Amino acid sequence: MMVDDRAGRPATSSGSEGHVLSTPTLLGDRYQLGEVIGSGGMADVYLAKDQLLGREVAVKVLRDPEPDPTDRARFMSEARTLAGLNHPHLVTLLDAGTSADRPFLVMELVRGTNLGEATRRGGPVPPQRMAEVGAQVAEALAYVHEAGVVHRDVKPGNVLLREDRRVLLADFGIARLVNDTAHHTRVGTTIGSPAYFSPEQVQGLTVTPASDVYSLGLVLLEALTGERAYGGTPTEAAMARLNRNPEIPSTLPAGWVTLLQAMTDPEPTRRPDAQHVLERLRALAGGDDAAATQLANATQVAGATQMMTSVPPAAARPEPTTSVPRAEEPAQKRKRPYWAIAVGIVLVAAVIVALVLLGDRGATVPDVPDDVPSQLRDPLQDLHDSVEEAGQ
């Protein structure tokens, strides 16, 4: 979907990009495929020629000649999602079809690069330019959220930077309607990019528009600093945010610090919505750091993210009237690191199960730790009580 003209090669560098088909393939009797210019988990994107209109386009094709039903369903879900969206900061879907039983999407060809490549090549992005870029992404997110869609994979590689400085949000392959009950994910798999997951995505909780706001916060922070907030393996990156908040340098302008703290708040309902993020980024892009800070504080006082109707309300908690240093929050919210809680849960469960199997009536059943998450406490407590009764 994107070609980097400055480098004379595809804008991304994974998968089978750069490969030229030995025998050019015509899809739908119309689209002549050329080289691969992008690759994802299940599909390749080709530079192609629309034979009917004589223009270059990007064609996304499922890689597997006999696609898995789950992949096919997810692919077609992307087509339907894009078909219902029309915004200047979204990649435009032009056509869709099936050829030799393989579905394909035809999208506008974007010439330029993506935010990830731009940062790798040029280093940190200046705050004012990053505010311009971020505002356009936030505008796209505000639009899709209003349409009832959650992107779920906001990352630098999906932020496309056109040569005319227009920014586009791409790849709705795992997007989901807020009230959609259909799940196009294989059991036991995780979709998305762990480095940019929200805490609720890591925990397998409901993903909402606030999740996209969190991911965008990490994207903005990475572009401003040139470093990922959560590095390491995918698992390490995903779990790290359950132990600590991202480190936001105090050397950034005050408006940026306040905004990024709000966007990456661990509590989804305390994050600003995409529209508020857009307003604050526009203020920063205009060089008005004080106005951006005032907007940030006003948003915090006004309340939480404007959530979709399907999102359950969170427990009431007092709203701060001033920005509180985020470094203090992990210690206040967690007495023990997440991994320690997890180990405690496993050990308690293991001992309880062992007592059940061995029938040791004289043994003492360990108590369930106080800081076990609420959704796990009740089942463990029931098991604990049952074993105690059996041993009496």
Buried b (16+ CB within 10 A) or exposed e, 127-159: beebbbbbbbbbbbbbbbbeebbbbbbbbbbbb
Angstrom distances, CA of residue 109 to CA of 47, 56, 96, 351? 8, 7, 15, 59
Query: What are the E-state strand segments in 180-314?
Result: none
> And the tokens for 388?
């105690």
- State the maximum Cα–Cα separation within the chain, in Å, rounded to a whole number: 83
Catalytically active residues are: 153
Q: Tell how far CA 318 is from the center of its chain.
A: 28
If phi over 0 gives left and psi between -120 and 50 gives alpha, with beta otherwise, what is residue 287?
left
How far is it, in rounded angstroms, from Cα 210 to Cα 262?
Answer: 11
Q: Who contacts 190 (Cβ-Cβ below 8 Å, separation ≥6)?
A: none
